[in-house]
Structure 1
Amino acid sequence: MNQKKIIIKYAVLITLMIGGFFLLSTLFGLEENPYLRFLNLLFVLIGIREVIKRNIEIHKETNYLVNLGLGLQTSVLAVIFSIIGVIGYIELINPNFLLVMNNSFLIGGDLSLAEIFITLLIEGMASSFIGSFIVMQFYKNHDKIVSVV
């Protein structure tokens, strides 16, 4: 499996985890709880970890920058997919969710759908960068041979 397929596979997985969690939250009436959005970072971290782990297993790639880039590409693509999902949800299923987002402390204000898109994009990009660097701390010395003294 080449790297592009790995990126797409795990970006879709992250998106499905975030979307599934959102739908589960909606079923329990918790979609208005902004604190639950912090769990999205957990799903991003899981996806980044898996894509890097698979790349090391399949391609034997241990270069820090290559794997960091792979994590970034995967998480950024997942963010874009997720934002498209949120916009689709607002436009096609529940237009009132725009008010819920505007009333959350994470966004706050009277923003248009385009402004919320930009806000979510910035928030998602930040979590992608931070998440990729966090996960790479576990893999930064993966290619180093530990010598026994």
Structure 2
Amino acid sequence: MRQSSLTGGAIMFTGYLLFFIIMRALGLLEVVELRAINFIFLIAGVYTAISLEKKHLGWGFTYFQGLGAGIEATVLGVMPFAVFIFVYLSWIDPEFMVYIREHEPLGHYITPFMAAFVIVIEGCASGFISAYTIMQYVKAHTAHPHE
């Protein structure tokens, strides 16, 4: 496990969790559009992981090491948040699960496990694409000694 990925994943998870708590405190959990703000935390975590990996490896930094750090950070940030959502919907606030079932398309099929699973798929897909995109930028701005 890379320290850079742990740091990036921690940034991501902390951002997701704090934003969720703030949304709950303000009574905004039902405003689905606010979930787009999570992308900021995802980008911050992936970029941090790649930047730290590049700084740590110096001239030995390769494209795939940076991509791997970004993907690893994504998994480390998204998975614990998905577990939190599963616990939250199952035991902390099952009434919110009822709200989701009543107000979301195909909501009657959603369980706490399915909600957590969707977060994993959605978060990892976004993170993988973000890591690839950020690496295009980093690759273009990385000087190598033989150039």
TM bracket, shorter-chain basis: 0.7 to 0.9
CA RMSD of aligned residues (A): 1.8
Q: Which runs of 5+ in 1 are unaligned?
A: none
Partner of 1:8: 6
Partner of 2:43: 45
Q: Normalising by the residue count of structure 1, what TM-score does the alignment of the two structures yield?
A: 0.84
Q: Structure 2: how far apart are the matches of 1:104 and 1:47?
A: 29
Q: Contact between 1:44 and 1:128, CA under 8 Å: does it hold in 2?
A: yes
Query: How far 1:62 moved relative to its partner?
Result: 3.0
Q: Structure 2: how far apart are the matches of 1:100 and 1:41?
A: 24
Listed as ranges, the matches of 1:1-149 within 5 Å are 4-60=2-58, 61-102=60-101, 103-104=103-104, 108-110=106-108, 111-144=110-143
Q: Structure 2: how far apart are the matches of 1:118 and 1:17?
A: 19
Q: Contact between 1:14 and 1:44, CA under 8 Å: does it hold in 2?
A: yes
User: Cα deviation per residue 1:37-87 (whole Å; 9 max; x = unaligned)?
Assistant: 111111011111011111111221431111011100110121101101111
Of 33-42 and 88-97, deviating more is: 88-97
Q: Tell me: CA distance 1:130–1:99, structure 2 relative to 1, closer, same or farther (3 Å).
A: farther
Identity of aligned residues (%): 24
Q: Structure 2: how far apart are the matches of 1:99 and 1:25?
A: 18
Query: How far 1:136 moved relative to its partner?
Result: 1.5
Structure 1 or 2: more helix by fraction: 2
* AA aligned opposite 1:78: G
Query: How far 1:109 moved relative to its partner?
Result: 2.1
Q: Normalising by the residue count of structure 2, what TM-score does the alignment of the two structures yield?
A: 0.85
